[in-house]
Structure 1
Amino acid sequence: MQVHSYLFFEGRCEEAIDFYEKTLGARRGMLMRYGESPEQCPDGMLPPGSDNKIMHGEFFIGESMVMASDGMVSGKPKFDGFSLSVDFTEVGAAEKAFHALAEGGAVNMPLGETFFAKTFGMVKDRFGMNWMVIVPKEMPKG
C-alpha cells in the first residue's frame, strides 16, 4: 500500500509544477488537461475557457510522487492542516530550497539547528502550500 498527496491548486497547477521544478528539482510526470479528457465534464462544472487547465498531473520530488490538479472548485487553494516535508542531506541544499520556497510566501519557522535536525524550518509557499525542510540528525536508537 502507498499513500500519495493530491494537491488542488485552483487554476494555478501548471504554475505550481513549474515552480517546484525550479525550487526543488521536481520532475514532471503524466499530465492530462480537461480538454484532453475522454469524457466531458458535466455542464456548469468548469468555468468557460478551462480546456487547457490541468485535470490530473503528477510530479516527482526525489522518489516521491505528488499528484495535482487545477481543481477549479473555489478559485483559492487552501492547504491548512498539513505540510509536505522534504529531507535533504546537505544544509546548503536545504537552505537554497527553503529560501526559494519562501519567495512570495511566508516563513513560519526560520531554518535553524534543533535537537533532531542539523537544520529545520517551516515555510508557506506562494501557492499556500506548507513545507517542512529538514536535514535530519542521526538519532540514537532505542
Structure 2
Amino acid sequence: MKVHPYLNFDGKAEEAFNFYKSVFGGEFVGGVSKMGDAPGIENLSDDEKNRILHITLRISDDLFLMASDIVPSMGHTLIEGNNNYISLHPTSKEEADRLFNGLSAEGTIEMPLEDTFWGAYYGSFKDRYGIYWMINFDYNNPCVEE
C-alpha cells in the first residue's frame, strides 16, 4: 500500500503546488485539471471554474502530493487546522535543512529544526498556505547511508 497526502485549498492549490514544486522539484503528473474542465459546471463563477479540480506532484517514485480547491458555491468550506501534518523523512541533515527552510518560508515555525532527545534532527511548521509539516531526519535510521 502507498499513502499519498491529499490537500484542500480555497483557491490557492495551483499557487501552492507551484511553490512546492520549486522546493521539491519533480513534475505535475497528468497535467492540471480545473473545475471548468468537468461536465455540469455551467453555473459556477469564472473564479470557481478556474479553481483546481485535481493536481498531483510527483515528489519521488513512492510519494505523490495531491490536491484540489474547494468550491464554495457547492457548500464546501475550508477549515485550516493542525489535525493533519505531512511528515517528511529526508536521508541527510542537509536535505532536512533545505526542505525546512524552503517550505517554511513566510510560514509559522512551531518547533525550530534541531537535534532531539529521540535521536533525530526535527522541526515543524505551518507553511504560508496553512499546511502543517514535520521534517524528521533520523540519525539512527539504518537505511541512511553514511
TM-score tier (shorter): 0.7 to 0.9
Contact 1:117 1:134 survives alignment (8 Å): no
In structure 2, stretches of 5+ residues that fail to align are none
Residues 26 and 134 (structure 1 numbering): CA distance in 2 closer, same or farther, change over 3 Å? farther
Residues 139 and 6 (structure 1 numbering): CA distance in 2 closer, same or farther, change over 3 Å? closer
Name the stretch that deviates more: 115-124 or 10-19: 115-124
Match of 2:6 in 1: 6
CA distance in 1, matches of 2:140, 2:131: 28
Residue 32 (1) aligns with residue 33 (2):
yes
Superposition TM-score, scaled by structure 1 size? 0.83
In structure 1, stretches of 5+ residues that fail to align are none
Match of 2:121 in 1: 119
Tell me by how many angstroms 1:66 deviates. Answer: 2.1
Residues 42 and 88 (structure 1 numbering): CA distance in 2 closer, same or farther, change over 3 Å? same
CA distance in 2, matches of 1:75, 1:100: 28
CA distance in 2, matches of 1:100, 1:139: 24
Match of 1:51 in 2: 49
Identity %: 31
Q: CA RMSD in A?
A: 2.3
**Across the two proteins, how many residue pairs are aligned to each other?**
137
Q: Which amino acid aligns with 2:102?
A: A
Tell me by how many angstroms 1:100 deviates. Answer: 1.4
Residues 86 and 104 (structure 1 numbering): CA distance in 2 closer, same or farther, change over 3 Å? same
Q: Deviations over 1:89-111 (max 9, x none)?
A: 11111111101111110110000
* Paired residues for 1:1-142 under 5 Å: 1-30=1-30, 31-37=32-38, 39-41=39-41, 43=43, 46-62=44-60, 63-73=62-72, 78-138=80-140
Tell me by how many angstroms 1:137 deviates. Answer: 2.3
Contact 2:56 2:64 survives alignment (8 Å): yes
Q: Where does structure 1 differ by over 6 angstroms across 4 or more consecutive aligned residues?
A: none
CA distance in 1, matches of 2:29, 2:16: 14
Residues 117 and 61 (structure 1 numbering): CA distance in 2 closer, same or farther, change over 3 Å? farther
